[in-house]
Amino acid sequence: MPKVQPRILKGTRDFLPRTMILRQHVIDTLRRTFEQFGFEPLETPALEYAETFEGKSDAEVDKLLYRFVDHGGRRVALRYELNVALARVAAMYAGELAFPFKRYQMGPVWRADKPQKGRYREFWQCDVDIVGSASMLADAEVLAVLYTALQRLGFPEFTIRLNNRKILSGLGILAGVPAEQTGGLYRAIDKLERDGEEAVRRLLLEEGLSEAVASRLLETVQMPGGGPEVLAELRHSFSDIPIGLEGVAEMEELLGHLAALGVPSTHYRLDLSMVRGLGYYTGPIFETVVERPRIGAISGGGRYDRMVGLFGPDMPATGVSLGLERILDVMTELGMVELPHTVVQALVTVFDAAHVGASLALAQELRRAGVHTEVYLEPSAPLGRQFKYADRKGIPFVLVVGPDELGAGLVTVKDMRSGEQRSLPREKVGEAIQGGIRGDVSDLQVGKEAGGVP
């Protein structure tokens, strides 16, 4: 057959082992954190009926759907996010699930977007959501999970920006914007941080606002403080706007719960210019930003009380999604964590063809002791080549069990990181390597100096 040019689609990526080790570290950290807060795992299909996703947000999102007709004539689509599928699950299995239903899900989603830094066509979302509770306690809990996860991943500086769609509706009413035009109002405000005040002012004027109303609106959404003082000012402004007052009350309650949960106020602030693009949010909304690198939001979410009702009986819901790709991009750029380049902790060399059995037996002993062990697979290769292989892969320990070692009941262990080399009693090798991996070098100070190993 003719050769095929090796290539992948733009906006998708291969992850080689060194990259996957970091990805798995982040995923495992998130999983432990989610489960510590009582969230349970859920998985849904990557491929669903197109109608499941269509019309659940706005027209712009629908344009990003990868959809096609399969061989059976069914209109199908790749999932573009995880909480629409959650809403379907909540409606489909309402009789089997205990509500409030707290679930986490981590997996790939697909969007026919224009690839750029921090934005891909295939990427992972890591979601925690609560279905079946209208209480602000639910919103506070997903924010506490978010804060804890980022802390555990080692993020030194991040800010969770908070707002409420009901407050935004109140601002629209206050500005005299007709309900059918509020979408343009939201889109204009959402560009404030990126494009600046004057650019947004022009957009507001194009939406039909007067100069005075546009100025008042810009002044309101940029009120300094980012906490209770802003809410107090809004309460005064919304004195005769019920939906705005409802949003203020929700945020006051939410801030109180965050304080009780121990989330420091230095890591969140009320930001009236933060809108969130998806059209299904109904209450509190939130996203997380980092100061450097400037990569956009690394998480986003909010309350979406009417989503489940699109599939069955209505249920309130709230949640947050952490963008794995952006989190990894930030961690890599800032050098936030140093991990091994390989999962292999020890390479057992093969002295020669006659000693293959001895090497295999030692490898099994190490594996039973919990050491991630690889055996070199070419018995005829000289030991020097085997050591070079371990060095290239970044394997920290190389073991030799040749005729001299077998006769003395020893194993020669070389720490490839320090160059130190010891002969250890065979029964102590597993424990010593585990100690060396943990950084307890005293575990390798057993036995006598060995010679003759490359």
Q: Give the pLDDT confidence of 208-221 residue by residue, as tens digits.
A: 778 888 888 888 88
Global pTM reads 0.89
pLDDT at 446: 39
Work out the average pLDDT over 358-371: 96
pLDDT at 453: 52
Cα distances (angstroms) measured from residue 121 to each of 66, 169, 174, 186, 232: 10, 32, 39, 26, 42
Cα distances (angstroms) measured from residue 215 to each of 167, 169, 202, 272, 321: 18, 17, 11, 15, 34
Q: What is the pLDDT of residues 287-316, one digit of tens each?
A: 999 988 878 899 999 999 999 999 999 999
Q: How confident is the model at residue 277 (pLDDT cuts 50, 70, 90)?
A: low
pLDDT at 180: 72
Say yes or no to pLDDT of 352 above 70. Answer: yes
- Amino acid letter at 63? K
Distance CA 128, CA 139 (A): 11
Tell me the H-state helices in 290-402.
324-334, 356-368, 383-393
pLDDT at 278: 63
| CA nearest to 348, candidates 428, 279, 429 | 429
Q: How confident is the model at residue 165 (pLDDT cuts 50, 70, 90)?
A: very high
- SS3 assignment, position 421: strand
- The partner residues of 67 in beta bridges, in order of sequence, read 77
Q: How confident is the model at residue 450 (pLDDT cuts 50, 70, 90)?
A: very low
Residues of the chain within CATH 3.40.50.800 domain(s) are 346-444
Q: What is the pLDDT of residues 45-99, one digit of tens each?
A: 999 999 999 988 777 778 999 999 999 999 999 999 999 999 999 999 999 999 9
- The partner residues of 104 in beta bridges, in order of sequence, read 41, 128
φ, ψ (nearest 5 deg) of residue 318: -150, 155
Task: Pick one of 3.30.70.980, 1.20.140.10, 3.40.50.800, 3.20.20.70 as the CATH number of 346-444.
Answer: 3.40.50.800
Adjacency order of strands within the sheet including 284-289: 40-41, 101-110, 122-131, 317-323, 299-303, 284-289, 159-164, 268-270
CATH topology of domain 17-334: BirA Bifunctional Protein; domain 2 (3.30.930)
Q: What percent of the chain has pLDDT over 70?
A: 96
Cβ(363)–Cβ(375) under 8 Å? Answer: yes
Work out the average pLDDT over 133-139: 98
What spatial distance separates the first Cα and last Cα of the chain, rounded to whole Å? 44
Say yes or no to pLDDT of 185 above 80. Answer: no
Work out the average pLDDT over 387-392: 97
- SS3 assignment, position 180: helix
Residues of the chain within CATH 3.30.930.10 domain(s) are 17-334
Of 31-40, 273-282, 344-353, the poorest mean pLDDT is in 273-282
